[in-house]
Structure 1
Amino acid sequence: MPPPPRWSLPDNPELDWLRIRAKQLRDAAAEVRLDALELVDSYDPPGSGPVTLARAQRVVARAYGSAGW
């Protein structure tokens, strides 16, 4: 069972804003930032491979309480 949502969406979320968040997460994971890697591990099974944009999008969606992008 996935953890509960970490963040809540604004009333009128912009898709571009969410895309930027996913790209930032992917880039932070590539820089081996522990906060990003912990977030990825919390919302996507560890060992699922590199943090691609698709995986970062899935993590962002789950962190906002959605099952997928």
Structure 2
Amino acid sequence: MTEFFKSLQEKIIGAISLALSILCIGVIVQLLLGESLVGWDPVGNIQEAGSAFIGVIAIVALYLLFKKK
């Protein structure tokens, strides 16, 4: 059972890492081109999220701080 959860955790971490990489590439390309990418507007989505996005960043930062201790 422990192996199952460890495997699941590795897959989730891999998926999140891939999603963040795609998001970063999308933001960089949009900043360089100055327009949305094939109907996808990552910068606009981040701006529209506003305080909710800041909250998610704060939770991730706190998690990383507690994980290091």
TM-score (structure 2 length as normaliser): 0.36
Higher relative contact order (CA 8 A, sep 6+): 1
| Higher Cα Rg, which structure | 2
TM-score (structure 1 length as normaliser): 0.36
Which has a greater percent of helix? 2
